[in-house]
Amino acid sequence: MSNGLRVSILGGGSAYTPGLIEGFIRLKDTVPLERLVLMDIDSRKLSIVGAMVKAMLEAEMPGTRVDLTQDRMEAIQDIDFILCQIRVGGLAARHLDESIATELGLVGQETTGPGGFSMALRTIPVMVEIARDIETHNPGAWLINYTNPTGLVAEAIHKACPVKVISICDEPMILQEALAGFVGVDPGSLFMDYFGLNHLGWARRVLLRGNDILPVLRQTMQESSDIDLDKVFGSTVMSDPKNQLELQNTLRIFLETGLLPSPYLQYYYFSDEMIRYRVSTGKTRAQEVIELEKAILADFEKVTAGRKKLEIKRGGKWHADMMIGMLSAIAQDSRSIYIVNVPNRGSMPELPYDKIVEVPAVVDASGAHPLAVGNMPASVRGLVQAVAAYEELTVKAALEGSQADALDALTCHPLVPSREVAKRLLDSYLRTHAEYLPQFAGRH
């Protein structure tokens, strides 16, 4: 590895990129950046975000070389860390994923439920192609995968190719940072006894100096109604105005079960309410994000033109800190603990040995070593096992282009009420996204 890190970002035209760059700037003394390559197939976004990023780095880390490219190979060769946050089909495809589900009366969400299924079918072939390119052309490089749906993408990559990869999601980190802030300690001083699958996980205990803080937190939240939930649970990137519904739902699950859930659990515990809420907004979440993104990009243009000062949303900070912390753990072999998506190997004995699970792991220069988190409470075991089976079938369908497996996958998803509905969903997704689903072309 060179003196400073050589980092590329596939999907670098994302509105999240400047937040990530802020992180590199914040941590420039411990994790110096030698070269940054932003790659995106959307030339307009690449140009806006690229200009912004160049300005930021020139101001704060003047020696860093920045390249913008639409050529994937340029972002793979001579790079130490390839960050990947692509969105196959863009937000337009996400809108279709979500609206098709919503129209059938189901949860219409990017990663959880039918939307995530559709996204996986589109995304997995591209991600496997990228992984194979890295394996072939730069096998020493690390692929840092946070492309959604992260768990499914991770499982597909591990099945298809022996590339060096770590798959991460910032959700558990957001929770950890928020909790730490609420309690008034450094995030690193908390240990999250966390288990599950991506977007389907729980903290069973949160240890501070050896003691579980969850019982006291639960007691406190039961008694006080004026706590700013955002300060306890955090909130996801670009959630402005804050998603009070999500926070309330997370609170309800915590108070009732004593387990601190991923915010995505609301789609399982309160699916009926989430469907009603989405219908009430009259638009998909994708449409909201499209507007948000438009505004952010416009802001970026103003900032670059010197007409505004950059201000990154909180979620961005957490996201960046986790990402850069992880890079640093690998680059400096520091054996830090992160909650990541890794092959199971017994960490969760009630799931298959090769399943990708989301658990705390020791991260060092060789990758992620999962902790043995043990058996699950019966109250969540069945749900996790059901989604695990759904994921196994979805990955198989996405890799092999089998409609039968795809239908079985949707049928067994807990949020799909019947095989009839699964069929309508599948037909609709395959027809609508045909251009992104070459693996299904001419197959049944």
The one segment of 45-53, 123-131, 295-303, 385-393 that binds a copy of itself by CB under 8 A: 385-393
CB of 19 to a copy of itself, least distance (A): 28
Phi then psi dihedrals of residue 174, to 5 deg: -60, -45
> Is 264 tagged catalytic?
yes
- Site for a copy of itself, residues 143 to 172, rule: CB under 8 A: none
Cis peptide before 414 (omega within 30 of 0): no
Cβ partners under 8 Å of residue 122, min gap 6: 88, 89, 93, 433, 436, 437
Q: Are the beta carbons of 237 and 225 closer than 8 angstroms?
A: no
Question: Does 179 sit near a copy of itself (CB under 8 A)?
Answer: no
Q: Dihedrals φ, ψ of 42, to 5°? A: -95, 105
Backbone angles phi, psi at 368, to 5 degrees: -115, 125
Q: Does 209 bind a copy of itself (CB under 8 A)?
A: yes
> Which tokens is 288 given?
């909201």
Q: Which stretch binds a copy of itself (CB under 8 A): 85-93, 232-240, 270-278, 293-301?
A: 270-278
Nearest approach, Cβ of residue 354 and a copy of itself (Å)? 11
E strands of 40-164, at which residues? 65-69, 81-84, 142-145
Check binding of 425 to a copy of itself (CB under 8 A): no
Does 435 engage in binding with a copy of itself (CB under 8 A)? no
134, two tokens:
């890295």
Q: Binding string, 216-255, against a copy of itself, x = CB under 8 A?
A: ------------------------------------xx--
Judged by CB under 8 A, does residue 297 bind a copy of itself? no
Chain positions 325 to 354 lying near a copy of itself, rule: CB under 8 A, are: 330, 333, 335, 337, 344-349, 353
- As a whole number of angstroms, the distance between CA 340 and CA 326 comes to 10
CB 94 within 8 A of CB 119: yes
One of 264, 267, 338, 390 is an active-site residue; which one? 264
Whose Cβ is closer to a copy of itself: residue 219's or residue 379's? 379
| Candidate list 46, 179, 407, 426; residue touching a copy of itself; CB under 8 A | 407
**Distance of alpha carbon 225 from alpha carbon 272, whole angstroms:** 25
Q: For strand 5-10 and strand 33-39, is the pairing parallel, antiparallel, or unpaired?
A: parallel
Binding site residues, a copy of itself, CB under 8 A: 189, 191, 193, 207, 209-212, 252-253, 256-257, 269-273, 330, 333, 335, 337, 344-349, 353, 360, 362, 364-367, 369-375, 378-383, 385-390, 392-393, 396, 405, 407-408, 411-412, 414, 417-421
What is the set of active-site residues?
264
